[in-house]
Amino acid sequence: MVLKLFRASEKAVNIPIAAQRECEEMVIAEPDPPIRVLPPDKPHEDLPE
């Protein structure tokens, strides 16, 4: 009985771990999005121009 409960608990933990791995692989396989540098709304006082 305890072994059956342990195996069920382990399976329940492994389901979201497997889903997370699958999602991470999907993100890694996607091409990088283009990066755009936007100008600041106003100049910062502490940065040299």
34 inside domain: no
Domain assignment of residue 48, yes or no: no
H-helix or E-strand containing 26?
Answer: helix 2-29
Q: What is the pLDDT of residue 41?
A: 83
Query: What's the domain range around 21?
Result: 1-26
Say if 9 falls within a structural domain.
yes
Those residues whose C-beta lies under 8 Å from the C-beta of residue 8, and which sit 6 or more positions away, are none
Mean pLDDT (the chain) is: 90
Question: Does 12 map to a domain?
Answer: yes
pTM of the prediction? 0.57
User: 46 in a domain, yes or no?
Assistant: no
Residue 21 falls inside a structural domain? yes
Position 48 scores a pLDDT of: 61
How many structural domains does the chain have?
1
